[in-house]
Structure 1
Amino acid sequence: MRHGKAIAWERKLKRVFDEIDAELEKAYGERFPLHPARAPLGTTSNPESDGLFNVGASYSAGFGSKFGPGYVVEIHLSTLKHVPRELKHELRKKVRELIVKKLPFAFPGKKIHVDRELRHLRIHGDLSLD
């Protein structure tokens, strides 16, 4: 069973990722054909389940991370085509910029950071539930 405040916090974070997903779909959505098993953009009730992109994060306790506990950002493209490494770097950079821009509005007054760690982005800092 999860604490209600944790659920509310993660709902806010999901809204941020849904906004980012929509921006990526608009900017990059036509670059690759959609995976045949993936629903077309806007045809499901959840942006995680349709379109080319699924951007989200999973909580990590931070063992082995220099940043400690936080959320590891996941950027998935639903296509069978090869996605060039350069585009993956560009997308990671764009997603980081959007997260940095949007988090202060979702979590006003909190000092939350977004840093690159290996090939991922990590959201860390004041993740308190107040």
Structure 2
Amino acid sequence: MSTHPKQVELESTMRRLCDDLDHYLEDTFGDAYPLHPNRPERGKASSVAYDGLFSTGTQFTLGYGSNHGRGYILSVEIRTLSWVQKEKKETIEKAAMEYIREILPIYFPHRAIELKRDGNVYKLVGDFSLGDSSNS
């Protein structure tokens, strides 16, 4: 079973969105904590998701038990062994979510996609349709 080309395109766009977020967080908060010892410095890995202080990504969820249904959970992880103060984590999280809301229309200009708080996670919800498979 192969993956639909429009699904591949959608997930590629999601990855670029997360890479953009990662760069923003590194530029803004990258010196806040020492890196995890197993983590390469920013720019040293093949993907921004695998180096520097931050790791960002999305994961699809069907949304069972969710107030917002299916969508993509947005993950922002701080890769350090140091203790991260709750207030600092909240500041980083707030900045990340504001930035995502700002850049969503750039990455998905023709889709109604929003970032929502869903319990203790943030989720991208909205139009993730692939359209007619005969138009691929």
TM-score band w.r.t. shorter chain: over 0.9
What is aligned with 1:124?
A: 125
CA contact (8 A) 1:92 1:121 kept: no
Q: Which protein shows a greater Rg? A: 2
Counterpart in 1 of 2:42?
Answer: 41
AA aligned opposite 2:28: A
Q: Deviations over 1:78-116 (max 9, x none)?
A: 100011111221122111111111111111121111111
Gaps of 5+ in 2: 132-136
Does the aligned pair in 1 maintain the 2:29–2:92 contact within 8 Å?
no
Percent identity between matched residues is 35
Alignment partner, residue 98 of structure 1: 99
1:50 CA drift (Å): 0.3
Structure 1 unpaired stretches of 5+: none
Equivalent in the alignment of 1:51: 52
Taking structure 1 as the reference length, the TM-score comes to 0.95
Equivalence for 2:110: 109
Cα displacement (A) at 1:70: 0.2
* Matching residue of 1:81: 82
- Alpha-carbon RMSD across the aligned residues, in angstroms, is 1.1
Q: Does structure 1 residue 14 correspond to structure 2 residue 25?
A: no
Distance (Å, rounded) in 1 between the aligned partners of 2:110 and 2:5: 20
Q: Which contiguous aligned blocks of 4+ residues in structure 1 show a shift greater than 4 angstroms? A: none
Matched residue SS, 1:26: helix
Count of aligned pairs between the two proteins: 130
Give the whole-Å Cα distance in 2 for the aligned partners of 1:128 and 1:94. Answer: 28
